Amino acid sequence: MKKEELSYLYLILIHVFIGFVIYLLPFTAKLYGYSIFILGTYYVIKSKDKNNEALMVAAYIAGSEVLLRMTGGNISYEFSKYGVVFFIFIGMYFSGFSKGAIPYWIFLLLLVPSVLIATFVLDFDTNIRTTIAFNISGPVCLGLASIYSYRRKIGLAQLNNILLSLGLPILSCAIYLFFYTPNVRDVITGTQSNFETSGGFGPNQVATFLGLGMFIFFSRIILESRSKFLVLLNLIIVFNISYRGMVTFSRGGMITGFLMIVLLLFFLYFKTNTRGKLKLNYIFVIIAVAMISIWTYTSLQTGGLINKRYANQDAAGRDKASKFTGREDVATSEIDMFLQNPIFGVGVAKGAEIRESKTGTFVASHDEITRMLAEHGSLGIFGLLILLFTPLVLYLENSFNMYLLCFLAFWFLTINHAAMRTALPAFVYSLSLLNVQLGVGRK
């Protein structure tokens, strides 16, 4: 076995071990969470961010967030967003940032009026500081990470290493879920999102991470597997992560991961030569067989309930009244708030309070787009347009970034069903702004 294969195998086994140990000895989650921060700080400062080490550590923090949240291993619940920002600042200190990142400075400034409004309009008994921080930390994390990443030159090999850093803790999460719910059949009784198969945590967020993990290790099958051993190893990882994601019964994250795979395959197919297309045809067959196998196995393990879930049916096979589990009602209420307050919006975090006063139930928004409209008004629209079109302009300039559309799709689709409650969509979005160059950074 080659040295490269052994190194990769050791990395995989270490993270399988981490997932197992955290399940077996829950207190080790704290040790894991703190060590990421301490060792990451040492690593970036020692290297002085010469090879984008800040992105490597920020990726690992973003990828470990859901595992640390479900096991209580984070320093604080929202630490991952602040951790990403912390390492981005260290990276900026050592290696600077692009002076051309003006769109993202504008984006951050557009957030300010709604924050100021919130300090006046939030309910008297609301903890204003923590409430505003909870709701604005995602967009701020995105803005700062984007300023650091904007047109930063990086090699494809380096970017794949960053993605691996993002994917390894997701693998640990999948292993933890395997031991948390070893027998899926015992806990699957309906077609609703399942907390038992999600480690007792929010299935929507867990599926989002696992869907991205599925994509990351799938991309390694194509781009980073130079032997049959690595192909087989990555296929096994993809199968297991995909299965654990499917049995959460949360559809958004898994559909997003699948669409990212489709986008990557289309990019490679249209950019490669005839010989490359022939190789990709074989890969298409392998992937098709793998996907059918994953679906068939999941269907058997869930007694066919997964089929009904994706067909939007209940356990009895009847069509559900709502296709979005009631989230469309929240989105409609936020559009109404925007129409009533079209300039500056109702203020950060005020949308949930208004809904509670009308319905008697506190429901946080799942859709970052309608939340931006409601709470930031027209300034929110301008901010979203900046986020959507800036990467597309960069794509026209540097179409070699094969991941750009995948990252942009992940961000856009994720904020439509899971908002920006984790650092993941913000960080992955920032990767779409990198200036990827072939051959740079390969060691």
How far is residue 208's CA from residue 66's CA, in Å, rounded to a whole number? 10
* pLDDT attached to residue 442: 44
Residue 285: predicted pLDDT? 85
**Tokens 């799709």 correspond to what residue?**
409
Phi, psi of 210 (to 5 degrees): -70, -35
Q: Which residues of 323-333 are buried (b: 16+ CB within 10 A; e: fewer)?
A: ebbebeebbeb
- DSSP-derived pairing of the beta strands 153-155 and 435-437: parallel
Average pLDDT of the chain, as a whole number = 90
Residue 325 has pLDDT above 60, yes or no: no
At 164-223, the pLDDT tens digits run 999 999 999 999 999 998 888 778 877 788 788 888 888 999 999 999 999 999 999 988
pLDDT of residue 399: 65
Q: Is the pLDDT of residue 387 over 70?
A: yes
pLDDT band, very low/low/confident/very high, at 316 (cuts 50, 70, 90): low
Residue 376 gets which letter from DSSP?
A: H
Whole-angstrom CA distances from 344 to 112, 251, 334 are 10, 33, 13
pLDDT one-digit tens code per residue, 97-150: 998 999 999 999 999 999 999 999 888 777 888 888 888 999 999 999 999 999
Instruction: Give Cα separations from 84 to 50, 87, 122, 420, 437 (angstroms).
Output: 18, 5, 28, 14, 24
Identify the weakest region by mean pLDDT among 135-144, 146-155, 397-406, 414-423. 397-406
At residue 26, does pLDDT exceed 50? yes
User: pLDDT digits over 219-247, tens only?
Assistant: 999 889 888 899 999 999 999 999 999 99
| Per-residue pLDDT band at 443 (split at 50, 70, 90) | very low
Residue 197: predicted pLDDT: 87
At 52, is the pLDDT very low, low, confident or very high (cuts 50, 70, 90)?
very high
Q: Which helix (H) or strand (E) holds 38?
A: helix 28-47
Query: What percent of the chain clears pLDDT 70, i.e. is strictly above it?
Result: 96
Of the candidates 262, 265, 255, the one whose C-alpha atom is nearest the C-alpha of residue 208 is: 255
| pLDDT for the residue numbered 322 | 55
pLDDT band at 95 (very low <50, low <70, confident <90, very high): very high
* pLDDT the model gives residue 280: 82
The answer to whether 173 touches 209, Cβ cutoff 8 Å, is yes
Q: Are 212 and 414 in contact (CB under 8 A)?
A: no
Mean pLDDT of 390-399: 85
Which pLDDT score, from 0 to 100, does residue 429 have?
Answer: 97
Average pLDDT rounded to a whole number, residues 68-87: 93
Q: How confident is the model at residue 321 (pLDDT cuts 50, 70, 90)?
A: low
Q: Is the pLDDT assigned to residue 440 strictly greater than 80?
A: no
Whole-model pTM? 0.94
